[in-house]
Structure 1
Amino acid sequence: MLQHVMRLSHSWDSTVSMIPRGGDTIWGSLDWSPEEGYSCDQKREMKNSTRVTNPARAKSAISLTRSANFGRIVSFGKDVAEAPSDDIDRIDFKGAVKGHRAENRTCRDLWAEYHGMGFEGTKAVADYKTYTAESIVELLHFVAPKMMARSTAHFSHGIADNMDDPKYKHYKYWSNPLETTLPNAPEMEIFSFYGTGLPTERSYVYKLSPTAECHIPFQIDSSANDEETCLKGGAYSVDGDGTVPVLSAGFMCAKAWHGKTKFNPSGIRTYVREYRHSPPTTLLEGRGALSCAHVDIMRNFALIEDVIRIAAGASGEELGGNRVHSNIFKWSEKINLQL
């Protein structure tokens, strides 16, 4: 199965377009992330918020709750994912010399750039221990320089300092909302519709597996679990629609485009409309008319109603303005982005 996936994906350089935009500023660093303090047990979180009324007790309760380091998008080992950053002994992979790997007998027709990394290059990647959104891009340049050279000609993942810089007229920036501006259309409105209430993968615990099939030496450590920090099967989860985290779906309308900003110079009005997931109660419902899972949300009655009302001329205010079930505004405020 893995060989067939590799054969198909070799022609999919465009998957690079799915790399998170904004780097550590948006997605967090080794010690910080917008979602820090998130509890995957939302019922327990709501219960605690109603029962703990004394500020001192509330502070004590928060301090006893461990939180995942979501900014560490990839960590080699659960211990690394949880350790204070000062205690992590990292060796920079960028200066490593790639070696030679034995002939790939199981996947010899599926050669990729990482097959040329050798054991030295593979070890260097693992020795760096943990990666943030920015260092993930650096890692890809190290592992697959030819692919990344092609991709950087078409995509960009940074944040614009000066939107008047002529370089941002190049089409490679157009797919990044943090490096382009909305049109001069002050009468227009933008809506962000997405689902919430489903565990959604945000960061991962990896392990080194040198003898893996097709010489792919890095695998998600499915044995890594920790209910308190939302870690299950090697993946840390946050609120989202099961595929896209809330931060990715709602940040631009919640903050970067909200009001007049350098990304929204004409002040186009933006609205966040979240839909709380409710699974089907019987098999007869199929995927469910109240489901807010990724793609399934297209048949959600509340979403369809909002779309029809907008198409019929209703404004965002007539829809009721923002409708939020998550902490998107709280998390967005934590992001120090110059607007």
Structure 2
Amino acid sequence: MESWSTEGKSKKFFRKHVWGTLDMIRVIFTDKSTWKEVMKLDKKTGLDPENIKIRPIDGLPASENIFPGYWLWSKVTRNLSAIGYDTNTMYIASYDWRLTLDNLEKRDHYFSRLKSHIEGTTLGTGRKSVVIGHSMGSTVLYYFLKWVESPEGGNGGDQWVENHIEHFVNIGGALLGVPKALPSLLAGENRDILTMGKIAFSLFERFFCQSERMELFRNWASSAMMLPRGGNVIWGDENGAPDDDDSVTMDQGAKADKSLGTMISFAPAQPNVNLHHNPQPNQSLKQQASLANHTLEAAMDLLLDTASPEYASILQNNYSFSITTSKKQLEANDHIPRTWANPLETRLPNAPSLKVFCLYGVGIMTERSYLFGSHDYRKQLHEGDTTCQAYGDVADTTGSTSPVSLFIDTSITDHSQNIDKGVRLTNGDKTVPIVSNGYMCASSGGWTKHADLYNPGHSTIIGREYQNRDTKVPPRNRGAPTSARHVELLGNNDLLLDLLQIVSNHSERITSRAFSKIETVAQRISLEHQE
């Protein structure tokens, strides 16, 4: 993204790339405060503050690479070009990922422009389009499928998708959100930050401390789009979760005895804990914590309790995170835009010829739930400075509440329970657990078993997994053709071949395939249909 500001302090960044390039790094290190000012949105409207204008870069350069050598879509576009695609037949719908979906249309006319482009393609070629999204982009596209037909949106009518879209392809789609969004918004933390290494993390913490990160995450209102959807029905509770038994274990044969449905566990006070302290297996987990543990629904309530009025309003007016099993309510939701990004609260278009693909990686330890602590070794970095910490009023086991410093306790590691540095891990693509990537497309999942609720046109649904296979070269598997990690999957040879077949009239060759226990997970999710 680049700055188009021509007034105020930010005018010196005019046409500079303030996100995703080396320019961004230079700007942060030379003028951090101005960079933060430039990147922030107005906290009430969620739009541009006065005298500040950031816009996404258009076209292929916006998506092929981020930072030198870190490719995103470049391998996909190169392979598409090999079978004849070019800029006349391929369109990158780049967007400002900070904005809510409603504001994308309000400020940038984003969905109107996408609708017009697809209509022009159909008119010019007589053929329908394949739309492909990755990660958050899949959620943006899912919202578009509802927006484009609705009178409250693009007013295209109930046959628009049937007439214009051939296939809807989700790559690592995270359609039901990701657990890592919760600690990011609640406490400015996630596993990516906390596993930098002690020195790197200390430097990063001094430069962007915990509360500063939380402030930015909450200001970028689109971050909430990635919060987990479906509540305890999908993500479980303290008695069990659908994906409890589908873990990539860190110790061969080990099995966790704690439900993944406990989204946030509060560890008991350990005043002598330090960064290198690793308790013996089950040692800390068998102690009784004084603070109440939280399921997803309780953790979402805690997030709302800690939110400013402005941020709480953004959450409640733009997003919906629950589940609807009533046909009557699903019909009503056709006219409630805040539900349109949630496939458990709004239906696929009535498009019998549409094919929906969920293509995602498995076989990698992925964050699923968190252990928050009561002793933070990092306080020494900001001695006497409470402004760098995140707080929330947390209930204890007696029901009373008190303000508590919120942070992931990286001192807790228990390999027998798949816990690494305060994060309980499960099977996924390193970023998204299988329940989010796979449930809607599983044979026993939302769009097939429960098609009468969520798939009225009985569109064909294909769920296809890619097993991660690590290699020694390149380092850390970055760019390896066998990697199934969340971003690296865009360079996976098997996935690229499947994409080429999907976009060249051979989609019938791409069938459902599972390496994980996604079918078992889907069968454990019990949905009772209501009238």
TM-score where L is the length of structure 1: 0.75
Alignment of 1:175 with 2:341, yes or no, is yes
- SS for the counterpart of 2:313 is helix
Alignment match, 2:473:
282
Show CA shifts across 1:157-177 (max 9, x none).
011132333641211000000
8 Å CA contact retained: 1:279, 1:291: yes
Alignment of 1:267 with 2:458, yes or no, is yes
Taking CA–CA contacts closer than 8 Å with sequence separation of 6 or more, which of the two structures ends up with the larger relative contact order? Answer: 1
Alignment of 1:31 with 2:194, yes or no, is no
In the aligned structure 2, how far is the partner of 1:10 from the partner of 1:29? 26
Label 1:8 to 1:137 Cα distance change in 2 as closer, same or farther (>3 A): closer
Alignment of 1:73 with 2:237, yes or no, is no
Alignment match, 2:326:
162
- SS for the counterpart of 1:220 is coil
Return the offset for 1:330.
Answer: 0.6
In the aligned structure 2, how far is the partner of 1:12 from the partner of 1:177? 22
8 Å CA contact retained: 1:81, 1:130: no
Alignment match, 1:207:
373
Paired residue type of 1:215: Q
Paired residue type of 2:232: D
- SS for the counterpart of 1:208 is coil
Label 1:304 to 1:12 Cα distance change in 2 as closer, same or farther (>3 A): same
In the aligned structure 2, how far is the partner of 1:2 from the partner of 1:241? 27
- SS for the counterpart of 2:452 is coil
- SS for the counterpart of 1:151 is helix
Alignment match, 2:441:
253
Alignment match, 2:413:
225
Q: 2:431 aligns with which of 243, 257, 281?
A: 243
Paired residue type of 1:304: L
Return the offset for 1:270.
Answer: 0.8
Q: 1:137 aligns with which of 300, 305, 311?
A: 300
8 Å CA contact retained: 1:14, 1:151: no
Paired residue type of 1:144: A
- SS for the counterpart of 1:195 is strand
Return the offset for 1:15.
Answer: 1.5
Q: Which runs of 5+ in 2 are unaligned?
A: 1-206, 269-281, 383-387, 391-404
Alignment match, 2:520:
330
Q: Which runs of 5+ in 1 are unaligned?
A: 46-63, 90-126
- SS for the counterpart of 1:190 is strand
In the aligned structure 1, how far is the partner of 2:286 from the partner of 2:251? 28
Q: How many aligned positions are there? A: 279
Alignment of 1:185 with 2:351, yes or no, is yes
Label 1:66 to 1:246 Cα distance change in 2 as closer, same or farther (>3 A): closer
Return the offset for 1:82.
Answer: 4.9
In the aligned structure 2, how far is the partner of 1:224 from the partner of 1:338? 38
Alignment match, 2:492:
300
8 Å CA contact retained: 1:32, 1:69: yes
Return the offset for 1:313.
Answer: 1.2
Return the offset for 1:40.
Answer: 3.0
Q: 1:309 aligns with which of 501, 515, 523?
A: 501
Return the offset for 1:44.
Answer: 3.7
Label 1:263 to 1:298 Cα distance change in 2 as closer, same or farther (>3 A): same
Farther off after superposition, 274-283 or 195-204: 274-283
- SS for the counterpart of 1:202 is strand
Label 1:26 to 1:18 Cα distance change in 2 as closer, same or farther (>3 A): same
Show CA shifts across 1:116-142 (max 9, x none).
xxxxxxxxxxx3x21111111111121
Return the offset for 1:224.
Answer: 1.0
Report the RMSD for the aligned CA atoms in angstroms. 2.7
- SS for the counterpart of 2:240 is coil
Return the offset for 1:228.
Answer: 1.5
Label 1:39 to 1:245 Cα distance change in 2 as closer, same or farther (>3 A): closer
Return the offset for 1:215.
Answer: 2.8
Paired residue type of 2:457: S
In the aligned structure 2, how far is the partner of 1:28 from the partner of 1:10? 25
Alignment match, 1:101:
none
- SS for the counterpart of 2:453 is coil
Alignment match, 1:17:
225
8 Å CA contact retained: 1:155, 1:173: yes
Return the offset for 1:11.
Answer: 2.2
In the aligned structure 2, how far is the partner of 1:71 from the partner of 1:33? 5
8 Å CA contact retained: 2:248, 2:363: no
In the aligned structure 2, how far is the partner of 1:153 from the partner of 1:80? 43
Paired residue type of 1:323: R
Return the offset for 1:278.
Answer: 1.4
Paired residue type of 1:183: P
Return the offset for 1:181.
Answer: 0.4
Label 1:6 to 1:67 Cα distance change in 2 as closer, same or farther (>3 A): closer
- SS for the counterpart of 1:322 is coil
Paired residue type of 2:321: H
Return the offset for 1:37.
Answer: 2.8
Paired residue type of 2:306: V
Label 1:140 to 1:42 Cα distance change in 2 as closer, same or farther (>3 A): closer
Label 1:152 to 1:10 Cα distance change in 2 as closer, same or farther (>3 A): closer
In the aligned structure 2, how far is the partner of 1:75 from the partner of 1:160? 28
Q: Identity of aligned pairs, percent?
A: 28
Paired residue type of 1:20: P
Show CA shifts across 1:277-302 (max 9, x none).
11233238852011111111101110
- SS for the counterpart of 1:223 is coil
In the aligned structure 2, how far is the partner of 1:74 from the partner of 1:6? 17
8 Å CA contact retained: 2:236, 2:260: yes
